[in-house]
Structures are given as structure tokens and as C-alpha cells.
Structure 1
Amino acid sequence: MIDSTDRKICDILQQNARTSSTDVAAMVGLSVSATNERIRRLSDSGTITGWHATLRPDRFDAALCAFVLIDMSYEGEAEAVAALSQRDEVQELHHISGPHSYLMKLRVADTAALQAFLSEAVKPLPAITRTETVITLGSPKETPAIAIPAGIGGADV
């Protein structure tokens, strides 16, 4: 079970995964060895799924962020989802409710690269019946962090 100390550890690490075990231990009031054991357990259980660096997209020729609403037919859907999921430009792909089938977030260099991606990687997929693209003008907030409410994950020990 995840208790309040585990939630604190997760919150600290998702803000900065490079925080030292000594610093995490001091922040949660545990010994370094107890903290390391909790981090290992959280990782082994799949609660912590990875350790990532957050990069500035404009430094890697991926300054344009776009969201694409995709309509798909059932026939070929699995293959289209697999193909899109393999593309490095695709940051997120969500199966959604409502009039569209999927919402895809992607990053590319510019509008020309976006047009090429849609023309070469998306529209040729047989299951794709329609797309609608929204280009971001700015991103005042963009984070992979999730809110960790105090009572989620089980009883405190």
C-alpha cells in the first residue's frame, strides 16, 4: 500500500528525479536506507515507471506543438494505433470519447513538417477517415507531473 510518506517521495521525485536520496530522506523524515528501500519498492511495483529528463523542444527542432483529433474506422484501427505509437514525433496518443476516436499530441519543427507528417504518416493509414489539427500558439503550462492527493493509494501506516 502507498502511504503518505510514499506519496511525499513520489511528489519530490516527479518534481526532480535527480534529488539525492539523502535530500529525499531529510524531506520525508526517514533514514537514507529506508528511503532507498521505499524508492526501490515504488519502482519495482510499477508506481514509479521511469526516470526522465525534461527537454526544451525548440532546442531539438520540435518547437511546434499540435493536437490532432483523429477519426478512425474499426477496420485497421489496431494497426493505425500501432503505427502512430511508433513515431517519435507523437508524444501522446489517447483513445477518447465523443465524436472523434483519438487525440494525438505531436511535436515537429514547423508547419511544413506538420503537413509532411500528416500527409506521409497519418492520412495514408487505411483506418484514418478524418483528422482535425489544432496548433498551439504557446504553452503557459505543460508538465508530466500528476497531482498527488493526500488520501490516494491506501491507508497511512
Structure 2
Amino acid sequence: MALRSERSLDQTDWKIVRELQQDSRLSFNELGKRVGLSAPAAAERVRKLEDAGIITSYGARVDATKLGLPLLVFIQLRCAPDRCLFKTSSAEKFPEILEMHKLSGTHCAMLRVALSSMEHLEALQERLNAHGEHTTNVVTSNLFTRPIIDWEKPEVDLHPSVQQEWDRR
């Protein structure tokens, strides 16, 4: 498991990343105050984090339920040869799909999907049938979400090989 990034983050970088994950609308003045930098220095650090590809975008998290999409499902997809979902179709044709991950193992992709109803799910499944087999899991409750990545100092016992990688950082 590789934990090393292409660019090493120091404590100040981690503070900036933490603060912007919590509130991406912070002004450079406020961000600087929170991390102990001037506004221009904070802006320069953020620019470097963006240039390094560590900060990739800014946005708002929304409540899909309040947008009329209360049903969250995960779909494991096993595409048929020559019918891969995003090779033979386009993302625009599947606006319900929030995320698609390529997988190893028996399924080729994992989809995270937000839907308005069970009827909506059934219609999506019918559209997916053209691409191959799929297994659907309906989320009954969300027990844990980690919207913020904060691995500067892990507070857990790591496997020795992972701990060695951390120690090399």
C-alpha cells in the first residue's frame, strides 16, 4: 500500500487541506488566520497544492434526499464483452450515477447511484441490462461517512509495512 504522495505535505499543508475540506469557501485571510499564515502566504500554499493535484476541486455537499433522491444504491456491474457501460454509452445518459469505480474481481465496476424511487431503480436496472449483469444493494442507513481526509498523524495501530511507509515520509 503506497501512502507517499508525489509531494510531501508539511504540517501547515495538512492544516490547509483540513480547513478547506471543512469549508472550501474560506477567504485566504480567514484561512491564513486559522493556519498561522498571512493571506498571501496562504494563497500561495493553496496554489501549490492545486498545482500538485492534491486539491482538485471545490464544491458544495448536498443532501440528495432533500433534492428528491432519497434512495441510495450500490450496483456491482459485470459488463458483457463489447458492451462496457462507459465505452458504449455516455455519463449523460445515466445522470443517476454519482460515482463509477473500476474493480478487480468478479465485477468490473461499482456504481453509487441516487434515485427518486423503487420505480426509478427498476427503470435504471432495465437500462443497465443492455450492458451486462449487475447486483444491486440498497442502502438502508448510512452509519459512517468520512468527508475529510486527515492522515497526517494516524492515531491507529498500522500494519508494520504501512508503519514503515509512514516512517519514511
Report the TM-score range of the alignment, normalised by the length of the smaller protein.
Answer: 0.7 to 0.9
Shift of 1:35: 0.3
Name the amino acid aligned to 2:129: K
Segments of structure 2 that go 5 or more residues without pairing to the other structure are 1-6, 155-165
Q: SS of the residue aligned with 1:47?
A: coil
Report the RMSD for the aligned CA atoms in angstroms.
2.1
Q: What is residue 17 of structure 1 aligned with on the other side?
A: 24
Q: What is residue 58 of structure 1 aligned with on the other side?
A: 65
Alignment partner of 1:71 is 2:78: yes
Cα 1:42/1:30, change in 2 over 3 Å = same
Q: What is residue 123 of structure 2 aligned with on the other side?
A: 116
Contact 1:67 1:104 in 2 (8 A): yes
* Count of aligned pairs between the two proteins: 148
Shift of 1:34: 0.2
Of 64, 81, 84, 2:86 maps to 81
Please give the TM-score of this superposition, normalised by the length of structure 2.
0.77
Alignment partner of 1:90 is 2:93: no
Shift of 1:90: 0.6
Say which structure, 1 or 2, has more relative contact order (CA 8 Å, 6+ apart). Answer: 1
Segments of structure 1 that go 5 or more residues without pairing to the other structure are none
Contact 1:4 1:150 in 2 (8 A): no
**Cα distance in structure 2, aligned partners of 1:138 and 1:33:** 43
Alignment partner of 1:136 is 2:139: yes
% identical equivalent positions: 25
